[in-house]
Structure 1
């Protein structure tokens, strides 16, 4: 670094515009970022945050994407139009990026050791024992339990939060000068989230690393950022020091964002609410290790260990816990999508032995919204086909007009325009894709919905809307929800009762107000402190 460059911003963006064909996604964006500074880009899905960030590394789909105007200067180097050789030397080395959806960013055919090691090999020339030692150091740094046993794991063998941790390890591998973090803690447990934020702060002070943070979580912005740029419809509508912006926002849109926090509590259940779902001693295990001569595994992982629960019509049961605690596995077992032992009764019927036509009929009443919206939406199907597919199977007698009306109604309920019907998943932001997933579940008007992190990819304002929407739908249709989330603010706003899980076991359960206001177990207390105050939990409370 020269004396002159030390007095210049590390990153300077001037009048940047981005067009996709005839659509302007970013318009005349300007800001600077100094060494060691943390800047947050905030705004709703589709506001241009991620497109702006991808432009820095020139990762947009050129030539379909173009820059009608603007300049991006990184440490004296113009990035717009730079040669591929120049960009390769910077990407993953001097500038790293943590992407929003780890499952689509990691290679499904390569193990974790190879993917993290590739970054070290390309830019540092590390291989063999030195590379492995550095990989283990990075995985331990980001909270991967027993990292040596995970080196040969493939991405699908890790939980969503663990995959995000691997992405963070890859980004930090070469100690970059600028780290672009696109929703870096969206998929992380609340206990790990606070630790990762502390880790990023520590690395900044040690390396002088700048951080461009893209997030919809204003609580994180308050904790991390020194400066903030608020984006709407591709433009920066307000920018300034974080403390001043939070204390005295000037723009109406900024005021709207700051006031849009999920709040309230679940409506009271009627006294005559009937029991819809009951499980007893649900147990799910997975074989681990190489099989012996007799084809037996070395041992079993008890992913769900003797869990019993009940759910009334119109009730919401929130399930919280760290990644890998068994929350989603329990839900998939209840939906009969995973093999399990124990009793499952739905609407008075024992569904353990359902198959064929009986199971298909059950699917209409039991729907699910998955955690990863991009992975659960077919890229070859239009939105109308995705949302309407269930109607073709479960309501074949509907006319084409009736089917289109039902699809339009579902899209309207999740605040998506009707002209979205003819578009495809890749044309939408992460939050918009999650809304499509919710619409697909709602279109059949089921009696029971598993909501697996349904708001994790959504903006704060949309989270509040979705919470209100789910409450309204529940009141009108008496649907029961099994709500899985690491965002305890949303859990509290929606759930009547809460279950806390760790390592496949039930730690604590009770009425939502009792669990939140008077938790009994140390683990529950640690979760609440990490989620609501961003306080890093001690290692004794982190899953190992």
Structure 2
């Protein structure tokens, strides 16, 4: 770095526009980012935040994407139209990026050691023992428990939060000058969120690294950023120092974002609500390690250890706990998507031995919204085909017009336009894809839905809308929800009762108000303390 460059912004974006065919996604965006500075790009899904960030590394689908105008200068180098050789030297080395959806960013065929090691080999030439030592150091830094045991794990063997931590480790491997973090803590529980944010701040201090933070979580912006750019419909509508923007927002859209926080609590259950689901001593084991010529397991991991629960018609049971605690595994066992032992009764029937036609009929009443919206949506199917697929199986007698009407109704309920029907998942933002996943589950009007982090990819205003939507649908159709989330605000706003899990075991359970206001177990207290720590910095703007 020359003395002259030290006095210039590390990144300068001027009049940047991005066009996809006839759609202009970004319009005349300009900002600068200094060395060591943290800037946040905030705005709702589809506002152009991620497209702007991807433009910096020229990672858009060119030539379908184009830049009608604009310039992106990184440390004196023009990035727009730069040669591939130049971009390869910068990508992953001087500029790294943490992507929003780790399951689609990680190679499903390669283990964690190989994927993190590849970054070290390509840019640092590390291999063998030196590479492994650095990989273990990185995995430990980002909070992967017992990292040595995870080196040979494939992405699907990790929880959503653990996969995101691996992505962060890869991005930080070469100590970049600029880190672009696209929703870096979306999939993480509150305790790890706090750790990761502190880690990023520490690395900035040590390395002088600049951070471009893309997030819908304004509490994180308040905690991390020095400057903020608010985007809407591809334009920056307000920009400035973070403190000034939070204290006195000027634009109506900024004020709307700051006031959009999920709130309220679940409505009281009717006294005559009947029991819909009951489990007794659910136990799920996963083999760990192999030995012998027959490849028999060395030992087993108790992913879910003797969990019992009940759920009434129209009730929401929130399940909280850190990544890897067994929340999703328990839900998949209840849905009969994972092998388990123990009793499962749904609507008075023992469903453990259901198979074939009986199990297929059960699927209409038991639906799921997965955590990773992009990974659970077929890229080859239109939105109408994705949302309507269940109708073809479970309501084959519907006419084409009736089917289209049901699909349009489901899309309308999740605030997506009907003209989305003929488009494909890659044409939507992460938050919009999550709403498509919710519409797919709602279209059959099931009696029971597992919601696995359904709001994790959504911005604050849409989170509040989805909470209200789920409440309304529950009241209208008396559906029961098993709600899995690390966002304790959303859990409290939606849940009647709460279960806290750790290492596959039930730590604490009770009415939501009791667990949140008067937790009994140290682990529950630690979870709540971590959430409150993240909230503390944002109390002022939440109050406004």
CA contact (8 A) 2:262 2:493 kept: yes
* Separation of aligned partners in 2, 1:277 and 1:474: 16
- Please name the residue that 1:501 is paired with: 501
CA offset digits 1:249-284 (Å, max 9, x no partner): 100000000011000000000111111111111111
In the alignment, structure 1 segments of 5+ residues that lack a partner are: none
Superposed displacement of residue 535, structure 1? 8.7
* Separation of aligned partners in 1, 2:49 and 2:481: 32
CA contact (8 A) 2:344 2:350 kept: yes
Moved more, 149-158 or 86-95: 149-158
CA shift in 2, pair 1:37/1:294, >3 Å: closer
- Please name the residue that 1:215 is paired with: 215
CA offset digits 1:5-63 (Å, max 9, x no partner): 11111101000000011110000000000011000000001100000000000111111
CA contact (8 A) 1:391 1:403 kept: yes
CA shift in 2, pair 1:322/1:286, >3 Å: same
* Separation of aligned partners in 1, 2:540 and 2:458: 31
Secondary structure at the aligned position of 1:319 is classed as: strand
- Count of aligned residue pairs for this structure pair: 544
CA contact (8 A) 1:502 1:543 kept: no
CA contact (8 A) 1:194 1:535 kept: no
Superposed displacement of residue 540, structure 1? 31
Superposed displacement of residue 534, structure 1? 2.4
Superposed displacement of residue 532, structure 1? 2.9
CA contact (8 A) 2:222 2:538 kept: no
CA shift in 2, pair 1:419/1:504, >3 Å: same
TM-score (norm 2): 0.98
Superposed displacement of residue 295, structure 1? 5.4
Superposed displacement of residue 123, structure 1? 1.1
Superposed displacement of residue 511, structure 1? 0.4
CA contact (8 A) 2:262 2:463 kept: yes
CA contact (8 A) 1:113 1:152 kept: yes
CA contact (8 A) 1:194 1:536 kept: no
* Separation of aligned partners in 2, 1:306 and 1:163: 26
Moved more, 146-155 or 406-415: 146-155
Superposed displacement of residue 439, structure 1? 0.3
CA shift in 2, pair 1:441/1:196, >3 Å: same
The alignment status of 1:45 with 2:49, answered yes or no, reads: no
TM-score (norm 1): 0.98
* Separation of aligned partners in 2, 1:483 and 1:537: 27
Superposed displacement of residue 530, structure 1? 1.3
Superposed displacement of residue 292, structure 1? 3.1
Superposed displacement of residue 291, structure 1? 4.2
CA offset digits 1:159-197 (Å, max 9, x no partner): 111111111111101100000000001111211110000
CA contact (8 A) 2:246 2:541 kept: no
Superposed displacement of residue 129, structure 1? 1.4
- Please name the residue that 1:97 is paired with: 97
CA contact (8 A) 1:11 1:73 kept: yes
Secondary structure at the aligned position of 1:377 is classed as: coil
Superposed displacement of residue 296, structure 1? 3.3
* Separation of aligned partners in 1, 2:291 and 2:400: 52
Secondary structure at the aligned position of 2:531 is classed as: helix
Cα RMSD over matched residues?
A: 3.6
CA contact (8 A) 2:219 2:537 kept: no
- Matches of residues 437-516 of structure 1 in structure 2 within 5 Å? 437-516=437-516
CA shift in 2, pair 1:541/1:121, >3 Å: farther
CA contact (8 A) 1:186 1:457 kept: yes
CA shift in 2, pair 1:46/1:535, >3 Å: closer
Superposed displacement of residue 2, structure 1? 1.3
Superposed displacement of residue 294, structure 1? 5.9
* Separation of aligned partners in 1, 2:51 and 2:23: 13
CA contact (8 A) 1:336 1:352 kept: yes
CA shift in 2, pair 1:348/1:284, >3 Å: same
* Separation of aligned partners in 1, 2:541 and 2:239: 38
* Separation of aligned partners in 2, 1:215 and 1:490: 17
CA shift in 2, pair 1:380/1:320, >3 Å: same
* Separation of aligned partners in 2, 1:524 and 1:75: 46
* Separation of aligned partners in 1, 2:437 and 2:294: 43
* Separation of aligned partners in 2, 1:296 and 1:116: 28
- Please name the residue that 2:348 is paired with: 348
Secondary structure at the aligned position of 1:523 is classed as: helix
* Separation of aligned partners in 2, 1:367 and 1:223: 37
CA shift in 2, pair 1:449/1:541, >3 Å: farther
* Separation of aligned partners in 1, 2:292 and 2:494: 48
In the alignment, structure 2 segments of 5+ residues that lack a partner are: none
CA contact (8 A) 2:258 2:541 kept: no
CA shift in 2, pair 1:153/1:531, >3 Å: same
